[in-house]
Chains A and B, each alone.
Chain A
Amino acid sequence: MSPPRAILIRSMVVVRLALILILAAVAGAAQNKPDFSGIWQAVNTAAWDLQDHTGALGLPPGQGVVEGGAIPYQPTAAAKKQQNFTNRHALDPTEANCFLPGVPRATYMPYPFAIVQTPKLVAITYEFAHALRTIPMDGSAHSDLGDTWMGDSRGHWDGNTMVVDVTNFNDQTWFDAAGDFHSDALHVVERYTLADHDHIQYEAAIEDAKTFTRPWKISMPLYRILDKNAKLLEYECVYYLQEERFRKAPFK
């Protein structure tokens, strides 16, 4: 075979290969993001108290998950936090009434949650109180409906990090069982990054100009549940609480 012809054939092969690779890349582009699907759980004591805390009966000790150590309350809010803490057994909406834990508390409740990731929509289902979040990944704007317990979530990619912007909160949830709270101006930005197949590095940035002097952040690893045939079961907190409170009903 003459050299020019060989070169011609080789270059045609290269061009064909390039075309195939380009087509494959285009087809695969949408699928080229990390997949967070699976069952996960936080292994820390953030649900009891986001900040450093000593052990007590029923309270596991823990180092805090707040970057910088302390939650930067405004003075009146700091006083309210103290009142919340003192009366937490009656006032904690989640521990006392089984109400939805809000975001980010739902992430670190001591119960597993499942991420189901599809290109346009990510769903997170939580075993605790069957809490649910749906996170459109389609670039849509937040809804105009406020007053929600779990927020309105909209996600997008920042490289390999899934960023979720959460707004439209009511002021009814606490961040933990120690009385840490927020107003309806709460704005949370979560970042989910796969450290490796079985670990997510999770961050939540908290902004609430009515409650805090500045934005602040929490971060923690999330661990994949590797047990065989793992699945979410039901922790129907409200139902169990009703069984206890209304066992001797009627009351009048």
Chain B
Amino acid sequence: MRMKILVGIGAVALGAVPLAAHHAFAAEFDVNQPVKVKGTITKVEWVNPHAWLYVDVKGDDGKVINWRFELGAPNAMIRLGWRKESVPAGLEVSITGFRAKSGENVGNGRSIILPDGRELFSGGSGPGSEGKQ
């Protein structure tokens, strides 16, 4: 089976952050604007320097908005056994993170909660993204 799924109990780290996080979190994202959204993955951009996860989120008004979240660097995640196929389109997830300073539907992803309740940390540059706090 080609798709690798990390089997684990409780929190699983999605990736170790390199020594110097690729670039500063605070230039783009606001630590004072935490967000949590629930929706369906529509797309994964498995690219360096950051992978991006696109999620269709239904708002209170019933309108569906597409959010995108910045994750860690694929090269770091790949070396830990993760692949693009680990976060397929169609998967229902909750994502916590921090909103972009621009106010757009963009965030720095801190963690992803899978349908079975497991929480995966993004390995991204935001506070707490290594899964330990």
Contacts and interface: CB of A to CB of B under 8 A. Distances in A.
Q: Do chains A and B touch in the complex (CB under 8 A)?
A: yes
Interface of A: 145, 147, 252
A252 B78 contact: no
Interface residues of B, number: 4
Nearest to A252: B102
B54 interface: no
Nearest to A146: B84
Closest 4 CB pairs of A and B: A147-B46, A145-B78, A252-B102, A147-B84
B74 to A, nearest CB: 9
A252 B104 CA distance: 12
Interface string B91-121: 0000000000010000000000000000000
Nearest to A145: B78
A250 to B, nearest CB: 10
A143 to B, nearest CB: 10
4 contacts: A145-B78, A147-B46, A147-B84, A252-B102
A249 B78 CA distance: 34
A22 to B, nearest CB: 45
Nearest to B83: A145
A147 B83 CA distance: 12
Interface string B37-51: 000000000100000
A5 to B, nearest CB: 69
